[in-house]
Structure 1
Amino acid sequence: MSETAALQGFLDTLSSRLSVVESKLGVETPAGATTTTTPAGPSEDAKSVKAFDAYCRDCLDPFVAACAALEAPEATTCGEIVTKGWMAMRSFLAMASACKKPAAMPQGVMEFVKPCQEAMQAGAANVQRGDWEFHEKTISEGLQCLSWLLVSPAPVDFIENFIGAQDFWANKIRVKHKTADKALKEKQVKFCDTFKKLMLELMPYVKEHHATGVAYNPKGVDVASFSGAATPAAPTAKGTPKPAAATSSSQGGGLGDLKAALSGGSVTSGLKKVTKDMQTWRAEYKAEGSKVVKAAPKSSKPAAAQKVTKGPPALEFQRRGMKWLVENQTKDEGVITVEMDPKDGVKHTVYICTCYEATIDIKGKCKGVAIDGCVKCNVLFDSAISSMEVVNSKSMKCQARGTVPSVAIDKTDGILTYLSRETLDITSFVTSKSSDMQISFPNDAGDMVEAPIPEQFVHKAKLVGDKAVVSSDVSDLYSH
C-alpha cells in the first residue's frame, strides 16, 4: 500500500471517530456532504462474516491481481465488476448475521439484493464483441451465482450450476492462447484459474455457514432498522489489507491517546470552530489548488424499469391438455416448485414460458418439460418420460436429476444442460438454429466435466454416380 493510501486510510478511521464525537457535541453535517463510513453493526463480529472476509483474501484478491496483470482496461473492468458483486454479497451476509429473517421474502431484503442485481446486470452489459469477449462472458456467467442469497434449501447446488457455465467460456480463453508466448499464456490461464477458484471456494463457505440458505439471526433486529456494517476496502492488485484492530485507550500513542483526549469535554473549549466543508482531507471532498470542491453527488434519477415478462406471474394446472403452466415468473418470486402427483404426474407436461431469471424446480416424474421464450432461467427436474424441449430462449441452464430420453434445442442462444450419470447413456440431443450449447455430466471419479455441442461444421459436396451428395464433419474448433 502506498503512503498516500495508508494516510487516507488513517484519515478515514479518524473521520469515523470524529463523527461520534461530533454527534455528542451537536455538530451538524453540512448539506451535500456524506460520511465515509457507517457504524459497524453486530454483524461485524459474526463468525460467518469473518469467514467470508478470509475467503475473499484467499480467492478474490488473487483474481483481481490476475486481472491487473493482463494490463488492459477490459480486464481491469472485469475485476471491478466482480469486486462490486462480492462486496454486495458481503453486505447482504452482514445484514443477515444481525437481523431476523423477514416474514415477507424476498421483498423484505430487496434493499440488499439490488446491489447484487446491479453487479449481475453490469456483467451482462459489459459483454462486447472483440478480443476480450470470452473474458467478459466468463465473468457474466459466473456473476449469476449471486442469486444463491435467495435460494433455499440447496444454495450449494445452485452455485455449482454456474461453475460449468463460466468454465465453458474460460476454456475458450485457454484454447485461444494455447500457442501464445509463455508469459501471456500464463497470465491468461491465471485469469481463468483464479476466477474458477473464487467460485469453487464459495461452495464450501456456503456449505459450512449457510447450508440450507442464508442464515439469519433469530435474536437480531428487524431488517428495516439495520444500520449497516463497515465494508472493508475493495481489493486492488496488491490485495486487500486486513481490517485494523481497534486501538485501546490504554495503549500508548496513536489513536488510543487521541480517543482518550477527545473524550474530555474541556479540551475543545476556546478552539476555533472548523466545519466539515473546511476539512479538505476528508474523502468526500477533492482539492483543486486552494479551492475546495465537493465531490459530485450521485444522480438521483431512478433507472428505467426493465420489462422482462409479458404479464402477471402464473402457476396453474390446466386439465385440458394435462399440463402445468409456469408463466411470467422472475427471480423476485423465489424458487418456483412444481410437485408432480406420484400416480398422475407421468401424464402431465410442464410448460414454462416467458420467464426471466427464474428458478423452476420440478419434483417427481413428469411426461415432459417444454420451455419457450425464457431468458436466464434455471430449470431442474427429476425425470421426464418423453423429452425436454427448449425453444426461443437465451442463457438457459437445465438439469436432469434422473432420466430424460431426448433433449430438443431450437432457436436458443446459450444453454447448459446438466445430465445425471444415470441418463447419460440414453439421452440424445436434437439441435437446430442454436448456439453456445454445452453438456455437463459426471465422470468416473464423480467430478463434473463439460463438452460443447458443435455448432460449426465442414461440408463437402460430391457426385456419387449421378446423385449429388453432401457430407458433413464437425469443425476442427471442437477437436480440442
Structure 2
Amino acid sequence: MGASSAAAPTAQPRDNGRLQEHRQYMAESVAKTCVLWARELEIMATELASLVNRLETAVARLEKVGLSAPAGGSPAAPAGGAPEPAQQEEDCTVPFVLAYDDLLSGPFKAFLDTSNQIGGDVAAIAKMVQETFINQRAFLVMASKSQRPLDSELPQVLEPTGKKVQEVIAFRESKRQSPFFNHLSAVSESIPGLSWVAVSPAPAPYVKEMGDSAVFYTNRVLKEYKDKDKVHVEWVQHWNNVFKELQQYVKTHHTTGLSWNTRGGNAMSNLKAAPANCGVPPPPPPGIPPPPPMVPLVPKAVAAEDDGRAALFASINKGTDITAGLKKVDRNAPRLPPGVWTPQTVRDDQKTHKNPSLREGPKPFVKQTETAPVRAPTRESPERPPKFALEGKKWFIEYQKDKPSLVVDNAKMDQSVYIFKCQNIVVQVKGKVNSVILDSCKKSAVVFDNLVSSAEVVNCQSCKVQVMGIMPTITIEKTDGCHVYLSKQSLNTEIITAKSSEMNILIPKEDGEFVECPVPEQFKTVIKGHSLVTTCTEKAG
C-alpha cells in the first residue's frame, strides 16, 4: 500500500505535463490556421478590389459611349476655345482600340509627363509625338469600321500618319544646335515605327527594329545625364517602354497585319466623314451551321462472291454434320477399265512421287528493286511586287528585276541604302550616304560616290560594287562571286571576308586601267605553343 500510494503522485504530474503540451500544440495549430486564413482573405480582397476597378472602368467607358453624342448632333465644344484632346478623340469599344487607349494612358503618358518636366525642345517634340499617336488612334478607329481599301487607295488612307511622322523628323533636323539633340534624335529614329500599319505579314518585328534604332542616341543621353539628372534617365526608360508596349500590342492584336472590319464600310468614305462615334463593334459571326440532312441508309447489295463465301463458312461451321451429304461408295460397284479418264482421275504428271518437281518448296523471296522516291515538287515563293521607296532614313530597293538604270538622287549623309533580292539590276547612288547593303541579290551591281561607314555584300551571287570616292570598309559574307572596284581615294579601304569565294579587288592604275587582285580563300593553320598561327596558301597551277 505504501509503494502504490507513493507512485500515484508521480504519475499525475506526468499526465498534467502531457496535457499541457497537447494544449500548446493545439493552440499553435489554430494560430497557424488563422494566419493562413487571414492571408487568403487578404489575397481575395485584393483580387476583388482589382475586379471592381476594372468593372468601374468598363462601365465608365460604356457611359461615355452612350452620353458623348447627344440626339441633337455632335457634342458642343467648350466655350471660348477648341475642344480638349480627350473630346477630339473618337470613342470606340472595339478591343484593339481600347488596348491602344491603355497604351496611351500608361507608358506614353509617363513619357509625356517626363518630357514636360525636361521642357524646351524635348517637350515640343513630345507634343508632336502625342499628336502622331492620337492621329494613329483615329486611324485605328476608322479601320475598326472599314474594310481593307484597295492597294491604290491605301497610300491616301495612310497619308495623315505619314505627314505627322515627317513633321517629327523635320523638327529634329531643324534643331541640330539644340542642347537636347540626342533626345530629339532618339525620338526621330524610332517614330517611323508607327508605320507598322502598312507592314504585313509580321509588323511586330518592324516595331522592335525601329525601337532599337534609337539605342545609339539613348545611350548618349544616359552617358551624359547618368550622374547629373535622373529625370533624363527616366525619360529614356519611358521612351523604351513605349515601343516595348507598342510591339506587344501589335503582336497581340495585329499579328499578321492591321485588323480591318470585313463587314465594315468603305475606308475612304469613313476617313472623310469622320463621325463622332465608331458605333457598336462589328456583329459576331453567325453560329454553328445546322447539320446536313440525314442520308437514308440503303443496305448494300451483296455480291455473288460474298454469297459463295458465306455458304462455305456456313458448311464449315456444321462440324461433324459436314459429311452428312456425302454418298457412300459401293465396293461391289463395277470399276472403270484402265486408261479411261474422268474429271476425277489423277494423272501421272499430277502425282508427286512420279513428278519430283512438284515436291519442290516455294521459291525463295526475291527482293524487288526499289524505285527512286518521288519528290514533291518544290513550291516557289510567290513573286512580290518591286519596291523603291524611302522610309525614314533608309532607301528600300527590293524585288527589282532587269532594270539597269535605277538611280537614288539627293541621298543624304544620315541615310542608308538597302538592296534586297534583286536580279540583273544596276543601282547608282548619288551623294554621300551612311551605308550600302546588298542582300540576297544575283548578277547585280551598285555604284556610289562616298560612304560614311561601310558597304556590305551578304548572300549574293555574281555581284559588283564600285566606289567613286571614299569607302572606309567593305564586308563580304556568304557570297559566291564579287568584284570590288576601288578608286584612288579608297586605297585604304579595309576588306573583311567570311564564307565567300571568287572575290576580286580591282585596284586602279595611273592610266585608268584596273589591276585584278584575288582575295585568298585557302588558309593554313599551325600550332605554336598554346596558340594558332594562320597564313594564306596558294594553289599550285
Task: Give me the TM-score of the superposition, normalised by structure 1.
Answer: 0.48
Instruction: Tell which has more relative contact order, 1 or 2 (C-alpha 8 A, sep 6+).
Output: 1
Larger radius of gyration: 2
Task: Give me the TM-score of the superposition, normalised by structure 2.
Answer: 0.43
Higher share in helix: 2
